[in-house]
Amino acid sequence: MAARSWRDHLPQGSRGPHRLILVREQDAQHSGSGCCGRLGEAHTDLGGAADYRHSRVLMQDIGAVYREVRARLPELAVEVVDPRNTVWLYPAVWQDARAAGRSARECFASLRRAGAALAVILDGEVLFSGRMPQTADVLAIIEQRLAE
Amino acid sequence: MPAFYLIVITLGAFYLGYRFYSKYLAERVYALDPNFKTPANELADGVDFVPTNKHILLGHHFTAVAGAAPIVGPAIAVYWGWLPAIAWVILGTVFGAGVHDFGAIVTSARNRGQNIGTLSGKVISARASTLFLLIIFFLLTLVNAVFGVVMAILFEAHPGSVIPAVIVIPIAMCIGQWVYRMRGAVLIPSIIGLVLLYAAIPIGQMYPIHIDGLADMLGLSVRTTWVILIFAYTWVASRLPVWLLLQPRDYINGQQLLVALVVIFTGVIVGWDTITAPAVNDVAEGTKHWFPYLFITIACGAISGFHSLVASGTTSKQIANETDARYIGYGGAMGEGSLALAAILACTAGLGSAADWNTAYASFGAASGGALDHFVTGVGHFLSNLGIDAALGASFAVVVVVTFAGTTMDTGVRLQRYILQEIAELAGFKSLVGKTSLLTTLAVLIPLALALAPGGESAGGKGFAFGQLWTLFGTTNQLTAGLALSVIAVWVLARNRNPLAAIVPLTFLLFMTSWALILNLLDFLAQGSWMLLIMDAGIFVLTAWLIVEAVTALNRQRRTA
């Protein structure tokens, strides 16, 4: 039986050879919030609007990239993930990088840069980490990489 | 009995629950539709509404719902023996938390991702939103009180853990600066942070921090002095921007949670430890009986109302397919149940011989006051099975619990500040609005007073009513769950489906909560514990209010149907 990968779980129609991972922090508390508190005003009505304003800005930046990618590259698999979700993020980046034929050294370099408050990762290659240019420039680079 | 068998039984029961009961819920109760356009697809904006892979979403959901509470509750509840505790964790997870967490996601997703507070106002009645706010107020007050005491007890019992527990703060702040100011990636800094943190554990053992001198100077007990210091820290921490301490600590907590779960289960299997606690403990007459107290002592780990805030907050906005709700909601509940199982194992198989266990759990006061101490001792023992010194292992466990408890208190005081401001606005005290320092001081002083309140079976005979506070906290958590289950039941009924899957745990929880509150009320009255009495009476009024709202809403819906 053939080995199953994440691509086998994608909905029909969006299955493709490439995957884009958009990393950004959700504007809400993670650890320990489910048993006794949940800070994050936009989603629970608990908390102050200013608490996670900085994360909100990053979410909106990534949101703009997400919408453009969905509109212009509908065949590209896109995942949006919180960098605090280390259990999923790092294995996925490693798997994508290996599937794209990158060396172990390049894979480790990708892992090192992947977990930022904001990152754009295409097929295991970290295109932007921490900061990114305008949405149009991000799209241009993604399209250029896909065309290579 | 080998502790490993308990792992097999519990995880086996969870598997069966997932395989059969969650399937029944998915098909017959919530009637999941793979073709339903979820809010993530309908409103996809890449910001709040993002169709997300179910494995990613389970990671987000589980790290958000896991905390220190599923450790504390079971660590106390094994006082009645391991059998009632594990039975409630299994039954609560399979028939309570699974229904609740899964249902909260589906109900919210079917209402364009609205959160449970808003939904209770919409589905039950406009008054229910106010009820929700009041329940949260009581819950947060109790959360801050109990976690302040939890940390104080641990610092007093394990002075060697103070340095590593405190060093988390500058480490988190450095990570915060690196990630949010310098925009750096977090992997290498968080690994360095963890290494520094674990390196601080033996240093802490070499230089234990005793505050007897300070306590003597203040004329207070060591534990009281720790409680005051912890609340002073919380006052400062809750005034800091979240990116500086609260948010980066999420990274550390996430790693710690995984490490702790792995070492506990591996330690149990490698050491092949035997459960030395009795299956059912024959407690002395006049002591709290497991029926009904067990069901409010273990809230998180069996069923926790706060999960509905996560489920209806972010998770419901991101599920790509409605059928994913089963995997994420029910799966997350099982993850929380596994954490409770780990706590039960540590406190029943990690404390040594049966005689040692009987000494540790000699009374409900000893069980509640020493619960976390028992847990860290047990984890230390499991780590010794892996070749790590037991004292170092115990310090590791203290650090895990304290970082979670510290995060919870930081959050709790912030939330309490916002709620106090909202209540002040509603009550017409406009002058309080925007007075952050004053509101923070109030948010700290209220739980501090409660934490220091004497009464009941004191923790280790040192004048605290920790066990009483914990059971009160459990009642408020169960009330939050009750509110969410009411919303789910009314929504299921509105779709002409059988709502019994939600009504049975709802009725059970409200019955047990009411009963325990009445017993507590009589106890507090007899003891003259007026502060606890007022708190208990307030929660009882909220319970009665919730029962009226739930019955009215269900009857209204039944007539409509």
Instruction: Give the Å distances, CA to CA, from B538 to A136, B453, B474.
Output: 57, 17, 14
Cα–Cα distance for residue pair B396/B197, rounded to 1 Å: 9
User: Considering chain B, what is the average pLDDT of its residues?
Assistant: 92
For residues B413 and B440, the answer to whether their CB atoms sit within 8 Å is yes
Tell me the DSSP string of B26-93. Answer: IIIIS---TTS--HHHHS--SSS---B-HHHHHHHHHHHH--SHHHHHHHHHGGG-HHHHHHHHHHII
- Amino acid letter, residue B5: Y
A113/B46 Cβ within 8 A: no
- Identify the pLDDT of residue B463: 52
Q: Nearest residue on chain A to B71, judged by CA atoms? A: A35
**What are the tens digits of pLDDT across the range B333-346?**
999 999 999 999 99
Q: Is the dihedral of CA A31, B119, B434, B446 positive or negative?
A: negative
In angstroms, the separation between the Cα of residue B78 and the nearest Cα of chain A is 20
Residue A80: its chain B contacts at CB < 8 A?
Answer: 46, 50, 52
Query: Residue A38: pLDDT above 50?
Result: yes
Whether the CB of A122 is below 8 Å from some CB of chain B: the reply is no
- Identify the pLDDT of residue A13: 43
* Vertex A23 angle, CA A20 and A27, to 5°: 140
Burial code of A96-124, b = ≥16 C-beta within 10 A, e = fewer?
bbebbebeeebbeebbebbbbbbbbbbbb
- Identify the pLDDT of residue A43: 66
- Identify the pLDDT of residue B248: 92
Residue A94's Cα: distance from chain center in Å? 13
B249/A54 Cβ within 8 A: no
Mutating which of B144, B250, B258 best tests the A interface, going by the most A Cβ atoms within 10 A? B250
In angstroms, the separation between the Cα of residue A54 and the nearest Cα of chain B is 8
User: Considering chain A, what is the average pLDDT of its residues?
Assistant: 86
Q: Which residues of chain B have pLDDT under 70?
A: 455-464
Neighbours of B511 (CB within 10 A): 13
Q: Nearest residue on chain B to A65, judged by CA atoms? A: B46
For residues B76 and B85, the answer to whether their CB atoms sit within 8 Å is no
In angstroms, the separation between the Cα of residue B219 and the nearest Cα of chain A is 33
Q: Which residues pair with A126 in a beta bridge?
A: A121
In angstroms, the separation between the Cα of residue A146 and the nearest Cα of chain B is 21
Cα–Cα distance for residue pair B223/B175, rounded to 1 Å: 31
**What are the tens digits of pLDDT across the range B205-238?**
999 999 999 999 999 999 999 999 999 999 999 9
**What are the tens digits of pLDDT across the range B422-463?**
888 878 888 887 888 999 999 999 999 999 887 544 444 445
Whether the CB of A139 is below 8 Å from some CB of chain B: the reply is no
A28/B242 Cβ within 8 A: no
pLDDT average, residue stretch A22-31: 89
Binding-face residues of A in 59-98 toward B, CB within 8 A: 59-60, 62-67, 70, 79-88, 90
Residue A14 pLDDT level (bands cut at 50, 70, 90):
very low
Q: Which of B50, B66, B411 sits opposite A39 (nearest CB)?
A: B411
Instruction: Give the Å distances, CA to CA, from B162 to B151, B159, B170, B255.
Output: 10, 6, 14, 20
Residue B38's Cα: distance from chain center in Å? 29
B404/A117 Cβ within 8 A: no
A88/B186 Cβ within 8 A: no
- Identify the pLDDT of residue A44: 66
- Identify the pLDDT of residue A35: 67
Query: Residue A7: pLDDT above 90?
Result: no
- Identify the pLDDT of residue B459: 44
Q: Which of A36, A85, A112 sits opposite B185 (nearest CB)?
A: A112
Whether the CB of A132 is below 8 Å from some CB of chain B: the reply is no
A40/B411 Cβ within 8 A: no
Instruction: Give the Å distances, CA to CA, from B149 to B123, B226, B470.
Output: 38, 8, 10
In angstroms, the separation between the Cα of residue A20 and the nearest Cα of chain B is 13
Residue A74: its chain B contacts at CB < 8 A?
Answer: none
Residue pairs between chains A and B whose CB atoms are closer than 8 Å: 215
Residue B320: its chain A contacts at CB < 8 A?
Answer: 11
In angstroms, the separation between the Cα of residue B466 and the nearest Cα of chain A is 17
Neighbours of B355 (CB within 10 A): 9
Residue A20: its chain B contacts at CB < 8 A?
Answer: none
- Identify the pLDDT of residue A42: 66
CB-neighbour burial class of residue A10 (10 A; exposed 0-12, middle 13-18, buried 19+): middle
Contacts of B491 (CB under 8 A, 6+ apart): B107, B110, B123
B304/A114 Cβ within 8 A: no
Closest to B197 measured CA to CA, from B376, B400, B375, B409: B400
B414/A48 Cβ within 8 A: yes
Residue A28 pLDDT level (bands cut at 50, 70, 90):
confident
Cis peptide before B292 (omega within 30 of 0): yes
- Parse chain B into domains and list their residue ranges: 3-560
Give phi and psi for B361, each to the nearest 5.
-115, 45
**What are the tens digits of pLDDT across the range B377-392?**
999 999 999 999 999 9
Q: Which CATH class is domain A17-147?
A: alpha beta
Contacts of B205 (CB under 8 A, 6+ apart): B160, B391, B392, B395
**What are the tens digits of pLDDT across the range A50-95?**
888 889 999 999 999 999 999 999 999 999 999 999 999 999 999 9
- Identify the pLDDT of residue B455: 58
Q: Is the dihedral of CA B499, B500, B504, B510 positive or negative?
A: positive
Neighbours of B115 (CB within 10 A): 26
- Parse chain A into domains and list their residue ranges: 17-147
* Residue B382 token pair: 């499991």
Q: Nearest residue on chain B to A24, judged by CA atoms? A: B47
In angstroms, the separation between the Cα of residue A86 and the nearest Cα of chain B is 8
Residue B65: its chain A contacts at CB < 8 A?
Answer: 33-35
B258/A79 Cβ within 8 A: no
For residues A58 and B183, the answer to whether their CB atoms sit within 8 Å is no
B46/A64 Cβ within 8 A: yes
- Identify the pLDDT of residue B6: 97
Collapsing DSSP to helix, strand or coil, B219 comes out as coil
Residue B408: its chain A contacts at CB < 8 A?
Answer: 32, 35-37
Q: Which of B47, B408, B415 sits opposite A63 (nearest CB)?
A: B47
Which region holds residue B301: left if phi is over 0, alpha if psi is between -120 and 50, else beta? left
Whether the CB of A43 is below 8 Å from some CB of chain B: the reply is yes
Residue B317: its chain A contacts at CB < 8 A?
Answer: 43
